Amino acid sequence: MASGKVHDIINLIVGGFLSGVVFISLNSFLGGIFFLLGWLFATFIFGPDTDLMPKKRAGIFRIFLYPYSWIFKHRGASHHILFGTLTRVIYLIVMGGLLVSIINSFFYPELSLANYGKALISFFWNYNLDLPLYKGLTWFYIGVFLADASHVFVDHFSTYLKRSS
């Protein structure tokens, strides 16, 4: 398995190249920026290796990432090519609900978990790629997904090379 620094370097090179491809092929500044932001988010803050230990560079948000490292075993669901990114998105949605519950209890009683759930359902039910918010979030997710896929590919390739030696 590759080290964290190797993952970062490879992801930066591949991500830079793919971001350029997205910018040029889409001719969309919004799509390219959100793709790049998603790629960098998955590479530096919340990627497949978050299950080992949340990265220091996540800053104050690291506290929200620790439970992920307790729930998921390394190279388990977090490293699955199709479900790894989805597990992290679902985790963020659940943590958002937890944060809403805390805010509701202590600071802002009008904010409720029921309203959070309704807002999520409405958000996904009304998904419309013609709207800039949805288009940006779609490209963000694609960036996260492809950065995760790059990470998993590097892990498998480096493991293959080590076993072949």
Mean pLDDT by 10 residues, the chain (165 residues): 74 89 83 92 85 73 84 80 90 89 77 85 92 93 94 83 76
Tokens of 96: 């958002």
**High-pLDDT (> 70) share of the chain, %:** 95
Q: The tokens 């932001």 sit on which residue?
A: 37
Which residues constitute the domain of residue 47? Answer: 4-164
Could you tell me the pTM of the whole model? Answer: 0.86
- Exposure letters 3-22 (e unless 16+ CB within 10 A, then b): eeeebeebbeebbeebbeeb
Question: What is the number of domains present in the chain?
Answer: 1
Contacts of 155 (CB under 8 A, 6+ apart): 1, 2, 48, 75, 79
Question: pLDDT tens-digit profile of 5-22?
Answer: 787 888 889 988 998 888
